[in-house]
Structures are given as C-alpha cells and as structure tokens.
C-alpha cells in the first residue's frame, strides 16, 4: 500500500482531525470546510495504520453518502475498505437484527415492510377495531404519529393528544389502533422502517452478551452528520463504542435544523460531557463562499447562546457584499426576483446557477406565478407546484362546482372528501342527480342530503351552511371568504386526519385565502389559475428541453447543497423566523437562526436577502411586518441596501 501524503492533501485543521490518536473525537465541521474529505481521510488513516476494515463502523444518513465515502477511501488505500460496515443507521440495525432477532421475539427472516405495506396493515387494524367509515385519521397520519413517538421517545398517548386537540377524534381510539398495529407486526413477523432502530436498541439493551460482541468487533465508530442524530441513534453509538471508546463524530451544531423529525440538538452539545476526555477539532476554513457572504453568516449565527463558537474563514478573494432588498410586498418581491434573474443571465449566469430559498413552501406562491408569467423555467425541490398540490386542488374544486354546476370532476373530488364516499359513490351521486348539481339551490341540497351515506351526514351538516352562504352572503365576488368558511367548517379537520404534514398544508390553505383577496370574483380567480397552470406545463416542458431552470426550495431541502447565486425571500419576522415555530417550542428561535445560517451559507458568489414590508390579510387589508430579526443582527457595513421601487 502506497503511503498517503496526508500533509499535502489536507489543510492543517483537517489533518489534525484525520490523524488524531484513537479516542473520543468531536469534529465540528462548519459549512463548506471539507467535512466529507476529513472523514474519508480518517478512514484511510485507520486502515493505513493497520486497523482491519471489518473493525470499522461508518454510520451515515444516506447509503449514497456511505458509498461515496467508501469509494473515495478505496481510491486512497485500495479495495480492502469494502470490509467496513458502512451505511445508514437503519442498514446497521438490520444487519445486527438478522443475526439476533430471535432474542426479541422475531425470526431472522422477518419482513421489512415498505410504506405501502405499513399503510395496508394499519388500515386493517382500523377496520378490525371497527373505526373505518367515520372521521378518523388516515393510515399515513397514524404511521407518522407512531414514528414521532418512537423516534423522540415520547409517550404515544402524549403525541396523539397533541395532534388531535380540539378535533372530533377520540385519542384513545387512535392509540388503540397503533398498539394493535405493533402487535400485528410481531404476529406476522414484520418490522417497518422505524422498528429497525427501536428493535436494535432493545436487543442491545437487553442482551449484554450480544452487545459485547459488537463492542469487541467495532474498534472504531465513525458518524457523519452527528448533529442530526435522534436519541435512539445517539444511544446506539454510545453503547457500541463504550468499550473501545474510539468514536469519531463529525457534525456542525450550527446546522442542526431537524428537531421536527426527531433530531436532538443535545446529542452534539453533550458529547464532551458523555466523553469527558474527548478531543474537539474545528474545521473553519471555508472553500465555498466569498468572504463577504461569510461575514454575514458569522454575524447571523453569533446570536445563538448555546453553541460551539466557530468563525468561518474564506479562502476565496473578496467579491461583492450581499444585498438586503427592501420591497413593498410579496408581489413586488416576485417581480424583483424575476427581473434580477434576467440581469444575472445577462451577466453570464445560467438559470441552474440560481436558487430561491424560503422558510415555508407557501412563501413561494407569488414567485411561482410571476415566473410562469415571465416564461422563466423553474423546478421545485420543496414539493409540487402550488396549484398542483392535493389540498389546493381540493379547495379550488369547491369554487369550480359553485360556479359551474356541470363540472362533474369538481363535484366528484369535493364529495369524495366526505367520510364513507369514494370515487364510485361520488359518481353514483352525480348520476342520480342527473347532472343537476346546482349547490346554490336549497332543493338540490335537500335532495343530495337524503342520498348521502350515514357516515357522511355529520360532515354534510357542517358543510351545507357554506353552500348556503354563497348566495345569502353574496360570496361570488369574495372567493377567499367562501374557502375560509369551508376550511373552518370541515377542511381543517380533513387535513389533520388525512395529511402527515397538515401544518404546512394549513399554511398553504391560509395563503390561498389571502391571495384570493386580490380578485374581484370567483370566475376571475379560476380563469387566472387555469391559464397559469397551462403556462406552467408549457414552461416545465421547455425547461426540460433547454436543460436549465431556476431552483425553488425550502431551506431544509437545500441543506448540503450550494449555488453561485442565492435569493432568500420573505426575510420578515413571522415568516423567517416562523411565528408558528417560535410559539410552539422554547428552543425554536435558536433553530430558526441556524436555519437562516444554512440559507446564507448555500451561496458561493452572490446573496440577495429580500424583505417585503407588508402582507395582505384575508379581508383585503394589509399589515406591516418588521424585517427578520436575523437581518437586523447583521452589521450595516456587511451588506448593500437596495430599494428597487417597483410600482
């Protein structure tokens, strides 16, 4: 094996971490500082130092990341690294359980259920407990609740109660279904994705002999993205590494942004307390961004009280300061971004060099519409295009049937939302009504009500007043008010029971209502949506053919990526940081600040921070918003101020 020139291939910070003596090591790798490179060279150093590859455990969050690291290590030290146990936590858990599942009541040939399998089994449990046919959470929601409970180690009853507070769902019924699901999996010898970690930890907690076997085997444990570990993953690492205590974890507390899916910020912060002889190495030399962007990043993250202090240092030459753009509202913001994209193209940037980041998916609605009007190609990382989403289409179908009683597709979609009504039942209803579905006519409503199945009657009683209000309150010219009434009468409950991410969809629905305040009639709104949706399809096809498109993404989805040009939109208090997050969690402001830091550090060359001053309300009035507190924390001389002044 040829000797590796570690000194020539690594900077001083990376080198110190990669070749450090065995023991507990925490590598704090700030954004763009070569985290993966350091891990790869650590693996190479261990192998070159005589450690057998099969005595190394490398844990990552994606199989792709593990494969990439092992391929790069193989290029350095040869194919012998294939003996390393490398992969995700779930991959490791499965390998261990295949050997010892009998100790916890499973056979070694247990089935790993995919999402469809899990959904089917959960639906079977609902049916056996005779809970189907009424307003009850869908299997996807029940699976999410189960996953939340076990990944956060919170009591199931508490997770269920929080989700359904104030909703017509009995938490005891929900808990009983999930408990039945757990028992049924054991009976049929199956585990779902979440069970792999839970059962592996159970095995190691309850079987000292098996635990000792893996403690002996894995002389060195390496963990990537340690700041994203949950409680179960952290305990698995600690238990396996307890004997040899050679645990090498790499992460960045500044980029801990996934608490909502179980990641525990305390794992990385408490590492030195759990390993009191731990050595801490910091990677602060940034190869990604120009120094002006790093100045902003350092300034915005400094406000967090509990963190390992790090200062990003640039290797690139000075270029230009980021721009803070003061704008009137979301519409002006959208026009500004589209115009600026055109300017950037004239300067030589391609569309694929540009990303627009936002805190929540609904923040991009005005921009999506403006990009469509400008025929600018774009792709969305954070989900479907706004008006293509199921919940938005559900709400729009109400408007469609109210304005066109012959719209069979809208009728079928609307009535299929009710309990006990599927696509076939909705089709039968339409035929029985002989196409006479004028929902503004009381006699039609009476007739329909008599045809509905018993399970749908409670929801129908809530919805019917919404139809009646369309004429009584003359809502033809106020589509937002009609949708608002429908959401509060019925659709909010439907979202809670149907969608895993109902909070995000609820925000989308509220934004739709606000957006409708711009329109003078339901017809005008629906025409605009139809035209824009068709333009959308044409633009998407053209974008595929041309090979270039602006990317739109939430900050969460953008973590780990980078672009030459970054726009951050809706950098106003209440939007970014999120008012909802700060209200719900004590440590949320710190995580929101970390999220803002992640957004800033995605930029290589140019950064635009867009700050609209007003937002439209549901009744058509406007409210003024202060700039994001994270913008206010940036020293004025670190940025350029711009106020385009669109009309």
Catalytic residue positions, numbered: 35-36, 224-225, 255, 602
| Residue ranges of E strands in 229-383 | 247-251, 279-283, 285-286, 313-314, 323-327, 354-358, 378-380
Question: Which residue matches tokens 């700030």?
Answer: 30
Judge contact between 387 and 532, C-beta under 8 A: yes
Q: Is 602 helix (H, G, I), strand (E, B) or coil?
A: coil
Question: Burial, 360: exposed, middle or buried (Cβ in 10 Å; 0-12, 13-18, 19+)?
Answer: buried
Helix/strand/coil (H/E/C) assignment for every residue in 616-647? ECCCCCEEECCECHHHHCCCHHHCEEECCCCC
* Residue 562 CB-half CA count within 13 A: 15
HSE toward the beta carbon, residue 276, CA cutoff 13 A: 0
Which structure tokens are listed for 69?
């690291």
395: β partners: none
What are phi and psi for residue 317, nearest 5 degrees?
-75, 160
What does the block give as tokens for 377? Answer: 């190609």
Give which of 196, 232, 239, 190 is closest to 216, Cα–Cα.
239
Q: 525 is written with which tokens?
A: 């709104």
Task: Please state the separation of Cα 65 from the chain's center in Å.
Answer: 19
Bridge partners, 327 (sequence order): 612
| Residue found under tokens 């509220």 | 510
Across the strands, what pairs with 323? 608, 640
Residues 6+ apart with CB under 8 A from 65: 36, 224
Q: Which residues contact 99 (CB under 8 A, 6 or more apart)?
A: 108
Looking up tokens 């109902």 gives: 502
The C-alpha atoms of residue 261 and residue 230 are separated, in whole angstroms, by: 9
Distance from C-alpha of 186 to C-alpha of 199, rounded to nearest angstrom: 11
Under 8 Å CB-to-CB from 246, ≥6 apart: which residues? 22, 23, 24, 219, 220, 221
SS3 assignment for 318-358: CCCCCEEEEECCHHHHHHHHHHHHHHHHHCCCCHHHEEEEE
Paired tokens of 232 = 């179960």
């Amino acid at each position: 094996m040829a000797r590796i020139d570690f000194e020539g291939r690594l900077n001083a910070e990376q080198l110190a971490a990669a070749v450090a003596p065995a023991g507990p090591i925490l590598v704090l790798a700030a954004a763009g500082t070569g985290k993966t490179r350091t891990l790869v060279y650590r693996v190479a150093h261990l192998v070159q130092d005589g450690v057998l590859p099969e005595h190394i455990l490398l844990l990552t969050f994606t199989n792709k990341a593990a494969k990439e690291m092992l391929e790069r290590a193989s290029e350095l030290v040869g194919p012998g690294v294939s003996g390393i146990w490398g992969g995700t936590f779930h991959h490791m858990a499965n390998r261990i359980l295949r050997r010892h599942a009998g100790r916890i009541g499973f056979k070694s040939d247990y089935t790993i259920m995919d999402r469809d399998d899990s959904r089917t089994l959960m639906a079977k449990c609902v049916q056996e407990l005779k809970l189907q046919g009424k307003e009850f959470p869908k299997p996807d929601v029940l699976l999410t609740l189960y996953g939340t409970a076990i990944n956060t180690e919170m009591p199931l009853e508490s997770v269920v109660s929080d989700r359904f507070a104030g909703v017509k769902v009995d938490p005891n019924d929900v808990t009983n279904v999930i408990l039945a699901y757990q028992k049924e999996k054991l009976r049929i010898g199956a585990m779902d994705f979440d069970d792999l970690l839970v059962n592996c930890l159970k095995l190691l907690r309850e079987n000292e002999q098996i635990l000792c076997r893996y403690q002996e085997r894995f002389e060195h444990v390496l963990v990537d993205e340690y700041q994203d570990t949950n409680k179960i993953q952290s305990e698995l690492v600690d238990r396996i590494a307890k004997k040899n205590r050679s645990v090498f974890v790499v992460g960045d507390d500044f980029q801990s942004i996934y608490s909502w899916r179980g990641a525990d910020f305390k794992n990385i912060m408490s590492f030195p307390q759990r390993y009191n002889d731990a050595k801490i190495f910091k990677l602060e030399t940034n190869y990604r961004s120009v120094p002006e962007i790093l100045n902003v990043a350092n300034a915005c993250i400094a406000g967090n009280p509990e963190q390992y202090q790090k200062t990003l240092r640039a290797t690139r030459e000075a270029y230009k300061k980021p721009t803070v753009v003061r704008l009137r509202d979301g519409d002006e913001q959208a026009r500004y971004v589209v115009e600026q994209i055109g300017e950037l193209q004239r300067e030589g940037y391609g569309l694929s060099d540009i990303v627009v980041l936002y805190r929540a998916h609904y923040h991009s609605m005005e921009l999506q519409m403006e990009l469509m009007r400008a025929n600018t190609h774009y792709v969305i990382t954070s989900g479907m295009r706004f008006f293509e989403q199921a919940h938005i289409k559900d709400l729009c179908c109400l408007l469609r049937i109210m304005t066109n009683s012959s719209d069979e597709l809208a009728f079928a979609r609307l009535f299929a939302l009710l309990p006990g009504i599927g696509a076939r039942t909705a089709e039968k209803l339409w035929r029985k009504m002989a196409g006479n579905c004028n929902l503004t006519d009381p006699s039609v409503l009476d007739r329909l009500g008599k045809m509905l199945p018993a399970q749908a009657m409670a929801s129908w009683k809530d919805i019917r007043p919404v139809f009646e209000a369309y004429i009584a309150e003359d809502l033809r010219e106020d589509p937002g008010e009609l949708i608002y009434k429908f959401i509060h009468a019925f659709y909010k409950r439907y979202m809670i029971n149907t969608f895993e991410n109902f909070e995000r969809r609820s925000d989308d629905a509220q934004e739709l209502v606000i957006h409708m305040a711009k329109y003078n009639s339901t017809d005008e709104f629906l025409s605009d949506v139809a035209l824009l949706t068709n333009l959308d399809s044409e633009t998407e096809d053209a974008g595929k053919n041309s090979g270039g498109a602006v990317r739109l993404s939430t900050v969460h989805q953008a973590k780990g990526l980078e672009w030459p040009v970054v726009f951050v939109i809706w950098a106003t208090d209440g939007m970014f940081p999120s008012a909802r997050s700060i209200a719900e969690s004590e440590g949320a402001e710190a995580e929101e600040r970390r999220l803002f830091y992640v957004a800033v550090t995605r930029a290589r060359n140019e950064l635009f921070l867009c700050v609209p001053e007003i937002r439209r309300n549901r009744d058509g009035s406007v409210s003024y918003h202060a700039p994001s507190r994270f913008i206010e924390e940036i020293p004025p001389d670190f940025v350029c101020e711009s106020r385009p002044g669109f009309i």
